Amino acid sequence: MNGILIIDKPQWYTSFDVVAKIRKTLGIKKVGHTGTLDPMTTGVLVVCVGEATKLVDVLTCEDKIYKTTIKLGIKTDTGDMAGNIEGVSYACGDDNLASQVDACRGDHWSPEKQHLSDLSKQKFTSNLEYVDSLHKKLNLSNEQIEKVISSFIGKQKQTPPMYSSIKVDGKKLYEYARRGERVELPKRDIEIFNISNIEYNGKDEISYTVHCSKGTYIRTLNEDIAKKLGTFGTTKVLRRIKTGQFKIDDSVDIDSISNEKIIPIEKLFENKIVLNSKDEKKLVNGMDIKVTNEDGIYNVYLEDKYVGICKVKDNNLKRYILV
């Protein structure tokens, strides 16, 4: 079977855990996901099966929508509640505090502060219990919060978190972090298209929905929002509700995986090209075929028979996946 599964990834599963379960359940070796979700994060994880694994790079480029909650007053080394606490402050509008945030970002990595996935749930629970036991409240207004959060809409440079899968000199950043090694963090171009549904619990949590470009780290965004409010902040909740055209409403539970839940490749793209039988040999041999269609990815048919996916660039059609 060739196609995709839209999985609602449960909390404390790694993306690889999901892939491994699908391989075992369906007995298929060619399985790959289209974008890593941290163990703490839940929601849409698009998994390609069979020949559809060739579409991983295409589907990874889609924009995303997340729901998230910031826990204010706390800073962790990972940018979420599953990390090690590096600072606690319930001051607001403190310029000195804002500078402290800059000063400590990336400066406190040690082997003792490893973010191991098997300890994530335990760390999350203990951190949350500790912070809630403080019974602290920040002096923030809804107007102030909305103004600060809305200021992040648009194109910008973002520094990714140290605990991320971005590679520097052939190694992932989290590998450096776990070894206590310092490395220069590369800034990346991102875009926040929209932020909505902003809610403040009147104490120390802000929730909102964000539509963003590929490569945006919500953990970093939440830290930066808190910094602009003059305090610390870390991610308490992160749920991906849409990636590209794939929505959480269309997802399946990881325990409900079956061949019947696989969406065929043909259903993934709306545009189509119909070729004549004389083009079959060129298609099979991987030769370019001249077409008048715009650049893009198309379902391709030989007369009335579906044959797979092709790419069009500069009026040249080239095979991509044949089924």
Q: Which tokens hold the place of 257?
A: 């995986």
- Tell me the CATH class for 270-322: mainly beta
pLDDT in tens, 171-205: 777 777 777 778 878 899 999 999 999 999 999 99
Give residue 33's region: left, alpha or beta (phi > 0; psi -120 to 50).
beta
The domain locations on the chain are 3-62+245-266, 64-238, 270-322
Element housing 97 (H / E): helix 95-104
Q: Which tokens hold the place of 220?
A: 């970093």
Residues 286 and 318: beta-carbon distance below 8 Å: yes
Instruction: Give the phi and the psi of residue 54 in degrees, each rounded to 5.
Output: -70, -15
Our answer to whether residue 38 is catalytic in this structure is: yes
Domain 64-238, CATH among 3.40.50.300, 3.30.360.10, 3.30.2350.10, 3.40.50.970: 3.30.2350.10
* Residue of 8, 38, 77, 80 with catalytic role: 38
pLDDT in tens, 22-42: 999 999 999 999 888 989 999
pLDDT in tens, 217-240: 999 999 999 999 999 999 999 999
Q: What is the Cα–Cα distance from 303 to 126, expressed in whole angstroms? A: 62
Quick check: do 3-62+245-266 and 64-238 share a fold?
A: yes
**Helix axis angle, 218-228 to 95-104, nearest 10°:** 150
- Strands 272-275 and 296-302 turn out to be parallel
Tens of pLDDT, residue by residue, the chain (323 residues): 789 999 999 999 999 999 999 999 999 999 999 888 989 999 999 999 999 998 888 888 789 999 999 999 999 988 999 888 888 877 665 444 444 443 333 333 333 334 345 567 888 888 888 888 877 788 899 999 999 999 999 999 998 887 777 787 777 777 777 777 788 788 999 999 999 999 999 999 999 999 999 999 999 999 999 999 999 999 999 999 999 999 999 999 999 999 999 999 999 888 999 998 888 888 888 889 999 999 999 999 988 899 989 999 999 999 888 87
Q: Which tokens hold the place of 302?
A: 């030989």
Give residue 44's region: left, alpha or beta (phi > 0; psi -120 to 50).
beta
Q: Which residues contact 15 (CB under 8 A, 6 or more apart)?
A: 9, 33, 35, 36, 37, 45
Query: pTM for this structure?
Result: 0.85
Superfamily (CATH) of domain 3-62+245-266: Pseudouridine synthase (3.30.2350.10)
Residues 187 and 166: beta-carbon distance below 8 Å: no
